[in-house]
Amino acid sequence: MGVTSCSLLLVSAYFAAALIGGAHSEGVCLQDGKHKATPSPEPHLTDTCTLYADNSCCTEDDIQDISHVPSAINKNEPWDKCGPLSSECEGFLKRVSCFYRCSPDAARWPHPHRRSYIQAVPLCHSFCRDWFDACRMDMTCARNWARDPRGQNCTGTCVQYQQMYQHGRDLCESLWGDAFMTVEDEPEELAETGEVGAEGDGGRPCGC
Please report which confidence band the pLDDT of residue 9 belongs to, taking 50, 70 and 90 as the band edges.
very low
Q: What is the mean pLDDT of residues 48-59?
A: 94
Q: Is the pLDDT of residue 28 over 70?
A: yes
CB 172 within 8 A of CB 128: yes
Residue 135 neighbours by CB under 8 Å, 6+ apart: 85, 86, 88, 89, 92, 93, 161, 171
Question: pLDDT by residue (tens digit) across 91-115?
Answer: 999 999 999 999 999 999 998 887 7
Question: pLDDT by residue (tens digit) across 133-146?
Answer: 999 999 998 888 87
Q: Is the pLDDT of residue 23 over 80?
A: no
pLDDT, the chain, mean:
77
Q: What per-residue confidence (pLDDT) applies to 157?
A: 87
User: Residue 65: which domain range?
Assistant: 3-205
Structurally, how many domains does the chain consist of?
1
Please report which confidence band the pLDDT of residue 80 belongs to, taking 50, 70 and 90 as the band edges.
confident
Q: What is the pTM of this model?
A: 0.75
**DSSP H helical ranges for the chain:** 3-21, 87-102, 125-135, 150-153, 161-164, 168-172, 187-193
Q: Is the pLDDT of residue 8 over 60?
A: no
* Bigger pLDDT: 50 vs 31: 50
